[in-house]
Amino acid sequence: MQLNANSTLNLFSSDGILLVRSPAIGPMIGRDFSGSPNFQRFKEGVSGTFVGTATTDGVQRLYAYDRIEEVPLILSFTLSTDDFLSTWRRRALVLGLATIALCGAVIALTFLFRGELERRESLQVELERMATTDALTGMANRRSFDTSLAREWRRAQRVGAPIALLMIDADHFKAYNDRHGHTRGDAVLQRVAAAIESELRRPGDQAARRGGEEFVVLLPDTGASGARIRAERIRRAVSALDISHAGSPHARITVSVGVAALIPKEGVAAVSLIEAADQSLYRAKASGRDRVSAA
Q: What percent of the chain has pLDDT over 90?
A: 52
pLDDT of residue 9: 86
CATH number for region 8-82: 3.30.450.20
pLDDT at residue 109 greater than cutoff 90: no
Sequence-ordered list of residues with C-beta below 8 angstroms from that of 154, at least 6 positions apart, any chain: none
**From the centroid of its chain, how far is CA 57?**
63
Output the pTM of the full model. Answer: 0.61
Please give the mean pLDDT across all residues of the chain: 89
* 12 HSE (CA, 13 A, CB side): 24
pLDDT at residue 63 greater than cutoff 70: yes
Residue ranges, CATH 3.30.70.270, the chain:
142-294
pLDDT of residue 84: 66
Between the two ends of the chain, the Cα-to-Cα distance in Å is: 114
CATH number for region 142-294: 3.30.70.270
Q: Poorest-confidence range of 36-40, 83-87, 131-135, 199-203?
A: 83-87
Longest dimension (CA), the chain: 133
pLDDT at residue 5 greater than cutoff 70: no
Residue ranges, CATH 3.30.450.20, the chain:
8-82
pLDDT of residue 111: 82
Q: Which residues pair with 65 in a beta bridge?
A: 48, 76
pLDDT of residue 197: 96
Positions annotated as catalytic residues are 213
Mean pLDDT in residue range 9-36: 86
